[in-house]
Structure 1
């Protein structure tokens, strides 16, 4: 395991590791994944340290972790304590929590079994993620899906006008904007607001980032989720919607892969008008293009290649959905 830089140099990194030694960690090796995420090997085992700029944020994450630690088979990675018994380590304006390093593999969305195991893991996570106590719910925010998507849609429109792109990609952008406009105009705001209100009343908590890297296959069929960062009190169906959007590009937008999920609740969702309309909204393209516009030339080139490959298959899928919404069977 190699070491990486932290902060502004070797001295800061050395002092940070020294401060961890004072907390009882006998460090053999370390690796900074990000400035606020460090993997350490110790004689007692391997751990992940995560730093937060605010103490309250770290405390919130630890409290959510305690909720899952009460479950017989927790579906989330669990924070633990430093050898001194302290849950938080403060160093240079950062508050650090610690959890065991979960050794396993992230999901491969090219693999049918991984896709099934992923949706089953989300369902298990949802069964453990109904918070009926205000002491937990108060830690989390909620949101309006339509408002969130409208902001992303508008940001994409603004960004796409600021950058020089090819004529072909300009036409693709207009098509993508058309899909977003169609979806936002067809979604029933009152229906979604009622769903969101019901979720708050029930205490439904969504993970919010059901991407492959946030799943961990520990062994066999034992798949858990990691990362509490985007938890929110919204309908559980929003996680499933996001998961479907993650799956489809891997399978050229073929609806057959959704049947292979073998999930009756998903099959029911695919008969609901709001869910079908939401699948037309190219939220993933907007998100990644907005990031590419900010990152610059190389990322724009990468997204151009992806979009050119993805668009013909997505176009066919969206046309089918729009026809189905227009002429329901």
Structure 2
């Protein structure tokens, strides 16, 4: 059996992986031939006959919630995702303070899913809509288990943190950029608060909470799957669609027209609350706040990534904001 190491991994990490591999081998019925890190607390595990994804959780309750939720999805007919497995193991996995779940491995398609094509963007939206339709019927069962999605409060806090980080950020961004970002954010939040009734009247569903391209997985047969439900919460479908729109706008040149050509986003562009929300620079604030929280501002590569996100399409974003202002007049 072997651990596949990644470049630059610290020796201490390798020691942990070797201990983890030894523990997994004691708990799986089949001989393990490979353990490869994918990202933090997520591993690819191969046995002589099968492949699994192993994912770590900080508490047993979080793991059980994920197991229950994915089982509920499948029971309700949403089959375009993975399921948790118990049969490969002798007992539940717990190692050095982390609870591990064993997840069905979905062999990926040779072409990874991305938001670069109109077909993929629409297919992803269709899958999110199907997910919402399924979770609308089970949302009441999870009300005591999941947090409520509080988008206005979340973004207000993100703006507050960004504002507090300005003494660092001003070393990297021009003053006019910072001024525009703050203008967009304040205009957006003020409008969302004024029009919040729209979000309150939408029927609640269970939100995915992270509709980034890496959480859509096309399998070998071509079926698109939705994965990774760590950030599920209860709220209006528009919260997921806002995040989806924010993710795809860079791929469509920040075009309001192209955004409106996608169903069901087109109907949301008739709602002022949604238009106000589209102006919030959530991605830029998120990445700057993370950079400073992790004290990564001395890392040239990470600085370059965040600068590229902020600067490369800044003029397109500014024009997009002007269009939004015109639509809500």
TM-score by length of 1: 0.88
Matches within 5 A, 1:106-185: 106-132=112-138, 135-166=141-172, 169-185=174-190
Deviation track 1:202-236 (CA, whole Å, cap 9, x = no partner) reads: 5x100000000000011465211111110000111
Matches within 5 A, 1:194-209: 195-196=199-200, 199=203, 202=204, 204-209=205-210
TM-score by length of 2: 0.88
In 1: Cα distance, 2:140 partner to 2:269 partner: 33
Once the two structures are overlaid, the 10-residue window that deviates more, 231-240 or 63-72, is 63-72
In 2: Cα distance, 1:306 partner to 1:35 partner: 23
Instruction: Tell me if the contact between 1:112 and 1:260 (Cα under 8 Å) persists in the aligned partners.
Output: no
Matches within 5 A, 1:229-240: 229-240=230-241
Give the aligned length: 318
Instruction: Tell me if the contact between 2:34 and 2:46 (Cα under 8 Å) persists in the aligned partners.
Output: yes
In 2: Cα distance, 1:73 partner to 1:232 partner: 18
In 1: Cα distance, 2:292 partner to 2:17 partner: 32
- Unmatched tracts of structure 2, length 5 or more: none
Deviation track 1:48-82 (CA, whole Å, cap 9, x = no partner) reads: 10111211111111111211231444233211114
In 2: Cα distance, 1:138 partner to 1:45 partner: 36
The alpha carbon displacement at 1:194 in A equals: 6.7
SS of the residue corresponding to residue 307 of structure 1 reads helix
The alpha carbon displacement at 1:319 in A equals: 0.2
Q: Which residue of 2 aligns with 1:283?
A: 282
Instruction: Tell me if the contact between 2:115 and 2:213 (Cα under 8 Å) persists in the aligned partners.
Output: yes
In 2: Cα distance, 1:146 partner to 1:25 partner: 49
The alpha carbon displacement at 1:155 in A equals: 0.9
Q: What is the alpha-carbon root mean square deviation over aligned residues?
A: 2.4
SS of the residue corresponding to residue 50 of structure 1 reads strand
Question: Relative to structure 1, is the Cα distance of residues 273 and 164 closer, same or farther in structure 2, using a 3 angstrom cutoff?
Answer: closer
SS of the residue corresponding to residue 233 of structure 2 reads coil
Question: Relative to structure 1, is the Cα distance of residues 73 and 141 closer, same or farther in structure 2, using a 3 angstrom cutoff?
Answer: closer
Question: Relative to structure 1, is the Cα distance of residues 209 and 9 closer, same or farther in structure 2, using a 3 angstrom cutoff?
Answer: closer
Aligned match for 2:305, one of 302, 311, 315: 302
Q: Which residue of 2 aligns with 1:258?
A: 259
Q: Which residue of 2 aligns with 1:226?
A: 227
Instruction: Tell me if the contact between 2:5 and 2:36 (Cα under 8 Å) persists in the aligned partners.
Output: yes
